[in-house]
Amino acid sequence: MQIAITRKMFLVDLFLIEGVIPRARAERLKAMTIEGADHARIDYPATPGAADGNVAFRASGLAPPDKVADVALCFDFGADGSDRRPLAALNPWFLTGPSDDSTVALLLGRLALDQAAERHPKVLDLGGRERSGPIQLQGQLRDADLTVFDLMPGDNVDVVGDAHQLSRHFAPESFDYVISTSVFEHLMMPWRVATEINRVLKTGGMAFVSSHQSLGLHELPSDYWRFSDSAWRVLFSEPSGFRVVATNQNGAMALIPHQRRSSEHGDERAIGFESSSVLAQKTGDTRATWPVEPEDLGLDRYPI
């Protein structure tokens, strides 16, 4: 295997290509370019060195559907020659939509195995209050022993409290899974909450968190953060007591400013994502600490 394409996505005229190059081959790579695109960006390496020895890359940009045949990924290996990969010919082909999320699939697959073995896992939903109707992920948990934790009371909330102080509400290693959907962007100190999740999660248990990578401000004034797939690898790293199993970004979008500046011309064509997520496994106790309480910050709390 010289170069493997692991994901390919077209949404209207935005494209995203992800792949890996074996390390021995990557050491000879002189340049990587994209031909024929209106605008393109290459991240190489896209992630830190993988344990399997491969080097990951990510290419994204703007390519109108009627011009896809003109776009190609080009790899220059110097004296070893070049490798030109037309986008229209790349395989495997994945056409993904805004709701596709591989981390959710992995989470539900793991839960299905637990249920098939008649283990009734204990699941904590962090920030799982129903604010605008039933939460889809909660409905997919079926036989799990679900506890809903939220800063505000609600019809489906079991325990009211602050996620920054999660371990004050639950004993160590109380849960097999901790999930959180569209909450981390509203947390003052998400790095502290990651360590709190570690404390209430059983060793070997799984944490699933989804939030936003690109989205307009909402639920003001308590909208603090946005998360790329790389951000999850920091929050759920080895010092925090985790191993990242998978990350995902979906809902590709172009970000268009209301006021254009010549210095930023073309930036709006770079790909952003509505959502990003992580599935991480607890490998041991956290070594990270952050001795700051939310009230020390003097900020407004999440609105009702």
Q: Write the pLDDT tens digit of every residue in 17-44.
A: 777 788 888 888 899 888 888 777 787 7
Instruction: Give me 24's structure tokens.
Output: 């021995």
- 154 or 268, greater pLDDT: 154
98 phi and psi, to 5 degrees? Answer: -60, -25
What span, in angstroms and rounded, lies between the C-alpha atoms of 173 and 165? 15
Which of 132-136, 250-254, 260-264 has the largest mean confidence?
250-254
H helix intervals, 89-212? 102-116, 136-139, 190-200
Rounded alpha-carbon distances, angstroms, from residue 138 to 135, 153, 208, 212: 5, 17, 13, 19
Q: What is the mean pLDDT of residues 9-19?
A: 62
Q: What is the model's pLDDT at position 211?
A: 95
What span, in angstroms and rounded, lies between the C-alpha atoms of 82 and 252? 30
29 phi and psi, to 5 degrees? Answer: -70, 120
What span, in angstroms and rounded, lies between the C-alpha atoms of 159 and 165? 12
Q: What is the mean pLDDT of residues 131-156?
A: 79
pLDDT at residue 91 is higher than 50 = no
Q: What is the model's pLDDT at position 112?
A: 75
Q: What is the model's pLDDT at position 11?
A: 45
Q: What is the model's pLDDT at position 105?
A: 72
- 259 or 74, greater pLDDT: 74
pLDDT confidence tier of residue 248, bands split at 50, 70 and 90: confident
Q: What is the mean pLDDT of residues 242-255?
A: 84
Q: What is the model's pLDDT at position 4?
A: 64
Q: What is the mean pLDDT of residues 44-51?
A: 61
Mean pLDDT across the chain, nearest whole number?
81
pLDDT at residue 7 is higher than 80 = no
Sole residue written with tokens 């805004």:
98
- 178 or 112, greater pLDDT: 178
Q: What is the mean pLDDT of residues 54-63?
A: 77
284 phi and psi, to 5 degrees? Answer: 175, 180
Q: Are 65 and 22 in contact (CB under 8 A)?
A: no
- Nearest residue to 162 (alpha-carbon basis) of 203, 190, 134: 190
pLDDT at residue 253 is higher than 50 = yes
Q: What is the model's pLDDT at position 17?
A: 76
pLDDT at residue 175 is higher than 80 = yes
pLDDT confidence tier of residue 111, bands split at 50, 70 and 90: confident
Provide CB contacts within 8 A for 72, sequence distance 6+.
34, 35, 36, 84, 85, 86, 87
